[in-house]
Chain A
Amino acid sequence: MGTNPQVEPDTKTSVATEPPWSVIVLNDPVNLMSYVVLVFRRVFGFDEDKARKHMMEVHQLGRSVVWAGDREEAEAYVHELQKWQLNALMERDA
């Protein structure tokens, strides 16, 4: 019976990366376009062009992904957008 070869431990580690969470704002018929732009600027620090682009997506497409990243930050952003009375939610990317 031969001796077992010494097995070198596998030192390669794989880091499980979770898919990011998306923060999504949905359209509503009440909030003003100018107000939504202001909220995006205040909450995310977007410049006016970027804030307008996302506002127009909400207006024309019914929703806009305004941010993506880890869950904790996504929750904080959704909560902040809801404080501003926007219809916001988070979804995990496929």
Chain B
Amino acid sequence: MPEIDFRLSPFFLQALKDVLEPVSKSLRLQVAIKLRATPDDDELLEEAWRDSLLEHLNEDLAELLQLLEELSGESVLRISDGQAESLLRAASAIRLKIREVFLSELSEYDLEQGSINVAKLRPEQHKPYACFGFLASFQERLVVQLMPDFYDDESI
């Protein structure tokens, strides 16, 4: 059972909430990934497909927002493997959305390498970028617990 030890300042926790809550709201209506047309261009299938993805995504996001509510300055969270997987998916969706909405002008290479010059970000990008990075670290820590043999944490 994954166990994660958090030490977050109240300021950082509030910054996370400031980004996560509106981004989560937008994901209630629109999936984070790019959906391609079905092979037959079947509109009914596409709608059912999207609705099903949204339903799963909202369950995952609810798990993440609930966790955020439970976090205080220092917390040790014990979560089931199923919850951990749900949190991983939610974190991934949020990071994709942050990239799309706030960090779209950053190059794929810089994002993959983590070589963003924070000093060059606009003020309104600071919180989303901090959240983007925090969720990546959170995912890494979950993956290490679920798959202890994997230690490579670069982005693809």
> Which A residues lie at the B interface, using CB under 8 A?
27-38, 41-42, 48, 55, 58-59, 71, 79, 82-87, 89-90, 92
What is the size, in residues, of chain B's interface with A at 8 Å between Cβ atoms?
Answer: 39
Most buried by B among A28, A58, A90: A28
B77 interfacial contact with A, CB 8 Å: no
Complex contact B35–A82 (CB within 8 A): yes
Main secondary structure of the interface of B (DSSP, over half): helix
Q: Are A31 and B92 in contact (CB under 8 A)?
A: yes
Minimal beta-carbon separation of A29 from chain B (angstroms): 4
A87-B156 in contact given A31-B92, A38-B146 (Cβ < 8 Å): no
A32 and B96 CA atoms in complex are apart in Å by 11
B153 interface residue, CB < 8 Å from A?
A: yes
Which residues on the B side are within 8 Å of A42 (C-beta)?
A: 85
Residue numbers in A under 8 Å from B155 (CB-CB): 29-33
Query: Any chain A CB within 8 A of the CB of B43?
Result: no
A34 near B150: Cβ-Cβ < 8 Å: yes
